Amino acid sequence: MDAFWLSLVMIFLAELGDKTQLVALTLATCYNTRVVLWGIFWATLAVHVFSAGIGWFVGGLLPGDWIAFIAGVSFIIFGFWTLRGDSLDDDEAGECKTGINPFWLVFSTFFMAELGDKTMLSTISLATTNPFIPVWLGSTIGMVISDGLAVIVGRMMGKNLPEKAIRIGASVVFFLFGAWWMYQGGSQFSLTVWLVAALTLAVAALFFFRDLIGKQRGNEA
């Protein structure tokens, strides 16, 4: 049960400000909210069964301390990803389509948007250190709750959500979880391993915030 609630909370946070949450908001302006959330539920259930399966399989190949350490590194990277936020491209933010069953449109759109997304990768990381079924179900429900709240609050507030504050809060949780898991798994590791991990995190930070760094350099020039 702990794995279920952990997965629910972490995926709930991972979905805040994520691209798929923005997709949910867009679809909810076109179709009935209940249909949108039902399509999201089944699409997420389908994607995360593979995610949890991959994590469960990988988790059986490596020692527990390495799994925990790598999972910690990945969650700090997800924290950078969350802090940066996502945006929709022109196709994803386009006009509502007609002549297509709304459920299947939501299902297919969300299924494709979720492939390789942060929440999918977060589910894989969680499943490396936790049982398969609780991670699968918890991650699915956490994502639906996060998208449901975003749709409801977005409609009530005209989509004027405090996105920056939400992103900062969610990213802090990822940083704390990541640091704790790195410590738990890597407390006996050599300095070299920690330096490689620090370099990896530095490269990830530069990747996610390269646009911001470029703007600051442009302003200074």
In tens, the pLDDT along 94-132 reads: 456 656 788 888 888 888 888 878 888 889 989 988 889
User: Model-level pTM?
Assistant: 0.74
pLDDT cut 70: percent of the chain above it: 84
Q: How far apart are CA 4 and CA 164, in angstroms?
A: 28
CA distances from 130 to 6, 13, 62, 134, 181 (A): 9, 18, 14, 8, 13
Query: At 82, which amino acid appears?
Result: T
pLDDT in tens, 37-93: 899 899 999 999 989 998 888 887 778 788 889 888 988 988 888 787 766 555 555
The answer to whether residue 23 scores a pLDDT higher than 90 is no
pLDDT at 24: 80
Q: Does position 32 have pLDDT exceeding 70, yes or no?
A: yes
What is the tens place of the pLDDT at every residue in 152-208? Answer: 776 666 555 566 777 788 788 889 888 988 998 899 999 999 999 999 999 999 988
pLDDT in tens, 154-170: 666 655 556 677 778 87
